[in-house]
Amino acid sequence: MTIVLINAVCGLVLVGVLYRFPVLRVWRRVSLQSTLGWLAKFLVICAIVLTLWIGVLMWQLHGRVGQRGLGSSWVGLDVAEVVGMLLVVRLLHLRHAAVSPVAAATATLLAVDAWFDCESAGPRLDYLLSIALALLAELPLALLLAWVSSQTLAWTNRAVPPQPLR
């Protein structure tokens, strides 16, 4: 229960800081068009790093990946995050209307992963590492994907003639 409160307070502080200080509101002035190149590369790098992490998790499970348990759940959640990030990259290149919901879903997966990592971590060092990973990697990436989702929401409203099914 305490980690939920800590995460909520950190989230509220981050949102308050972003809205209070104009210098930190850069994300509101940056256009998606100017960031597509580095954004796609960054998401691919994140997906590669997460794929390597999945390999470490599978190695730690010693062949028990298909069995029911918490370890297999982490592998499945991380695979879904990788698929979501790569799908966002592909849809961004296509300028597809589905970017917004896919980016929002991937951001949600990352936030849930951060929360569950903190909730299921062992005492002391494991707990501190899970909080550090959540605050330095998973939650900032979730915020970035939420920003992408908000910036591409207009793509779903444009008038595009429907494509015939093949």
Digits of tens for pLDDT over the chain (166 positions)?
A: 444 555 555 555 555 544 554 444 444 555 666 677 888 888 999 999 999 988 888 887 776 555 566 666 778 888 999 999 999 999 988 888 888 899 999 999 999 988 888 887 778 887 888 888 888 888 989 998 998 888 887 776 665 554 544 4
Confidence at residue 70, expressed as pLDDT on a 0 to 100 scale: 63
Contact 108, 145 (CB under 8 A): no
Q: Which two tokens stand for residue 54?
A: 């999945």
* The pLDDT value given to residue 110: 92
Q: What is the dihedral of CA 25, 28, 31, 34, to 10 degrees?
A: 20
The confidence score (pLDDT) of residue 147 equals 84
Q: How far lies 39's CA from each of 44, 53, 131, in Å?
A: 9, 21, 25
The amino acid present at 57, given as its one-letter code, is: L
Q: Which residues contact 92 (CB under 8 A, 6 or more apart)?
A: 36, 39, 40, 99, 148, 152
Cα separation values, 11 from 5, 28, 38, Å = 10, 18, 26
Q: Under a CB-based contact definition with an 8 Å cutoff, are residues 150 and 163 in contact?
A: no
Q: What does the domain layout of the chain look like in residue ranges?
A: 2-7+35-155
The interaxial angle of helices 70-94 and 139-151, nearest 10 deg, is 30
pLDDT at 160: 53
